[in-house]
Amino acid sequence: MLRLCRLMIGMQYILIAGEGAGLPALFLRSNNIRGYCMIAIEHKGHCVLAAVVGEFTLADYHEFEQSVMYELKFHGRPNLMFDLTEMLGYTLDVVWEEIRFSREHRSDFGRIAVVTTDQWATWATWIAQLFVDSDVEVFSDAASAESWLLDAASVTP
């Protein structure tokens, strides 16, 4: 399971992603540590798992797109997860890019899981599913979402 952990260095926090209680599985790049915005992306079992912290920017979304396109090119239709539980907001250009990318790749994804407890993010997810031919579900915890995706990964063509 992709987890985000805060690590204090000096007077600033940075985030690392890890699995379980072990050492971090990957170090997250930060667009701006002071602005507290970053994205963690992990490829796992034919899934692309992304966790957003802080403000979701266009640069973050482009990084996500590149990861999805890599998975699509080399392994076929990926399952996707967005963990938005730590997202503070997003820029308008992210919305437009998400619509463009979803329409362009309408049939290229398997399952899509969105992890959030935010009412507006849930509502936006249900609207966004109009642009893709995928099974889209909203979860309140990342473990359930990841389990749902990994279960489907073994049967997704």
Per-residue pLDDT of the chain (157 residues; tens, 9 = 90+): 444 444 433 334 444 444 443 433 344 444 444 444 588 899 888 899 999 988 888 999 999 999 999 999 999 999 999 999 988 888 889 889 988 999 999 999 999 999 999 888 888 888 878 888 999 999 999 999 999 998 876 554 4
Fold held by 33-153: Transcription Regulator spoIIAA (3.30.750)
CA distances from 9 to 6, 32, 33, 34, 79 (A): 10, 14, 11, 12, 34
Angle between helices 58-75 and 92-104 (to 10 degrees): 20
Q: Are 3 and 19 in contact (CB under 8 A)?
A: yes
Distance CA 4, CA 24 (A): 9
- Give the torsion sign (CA, 109, 16, 139, 92): negative
